[in-house]
Amino acid sequence: MKNPIEHLNKVFESRVRLGIMSALIVNDEVSFNDLKELIGVTDGNLASHLKTLEENNFIKVQKGFVGRKTNTTYSITKAGEKAFRQHLEALENMIRLMN
């Protein structure tokens, strides 16, 4: 039998990273502040998780300005979308097997 957890991605095991990916998969781009409010974490915590996802090439960063304030937005990459969908499928399969 196929191993149900082979597609479970270690990178998405954190709740914060899962949250980031969920928000980015349904939006073209999301700003840092919107992510912070959605997931309910501190700046530093969010930034470090974003960094991990960026290093894995799952998300892209765009730095811009709104007036004088910096406005950083994030969007999902093709690789990120694929990995996240596989992760969701794996989650579903696992739950099905357990029940």
Partner 1 sequence: MTNSQQHLEALADIRRIMDRSSRFLSLSGLSGVGAGIIALTGTFIAQYILNDYYVDYEAVGFRGTDFMELRFKLTVLGVIVFVFALVAGYYFTWRKTRKQQVSLWESSTRRLMMSLIVPLAAGAVFIFGMLRYNEWRFVSPACLIFYGLALLNASKYTLDEIRYLAYCEIVLGLVNVWMPGKGLYFWGLGFGILHIIYGLVMWRKYDSGEQKSS
Q: How many CA atoms lie within 13 A of 25 on its CB side?
A: 17
Q: Which of 4, 23, 36, 52 binds partner 1 (CB under 8 A)?
A: 23
Q: Does 72 bind partner 1 (CB under 8 A)?
A: no
Rounded-to-integer distance, Cα 71 and Cα 69, Å: 6
CA distance 73 to 9: 24
* CA gap 21, 2 in Å, rounded: 26
**Binding flag, residue 38, partner 1 (CB under 8 A):** yes
Give the residue with the Cβ less far from partner 1, 54 or 94: 94
The residues of the shown chain that bind partner 1, judged by CB under 8 A, are: 15, 18-19, 21-23, 25-27, 30-31, 34, 37-39, 88, 91-92, 94-95, 98-99
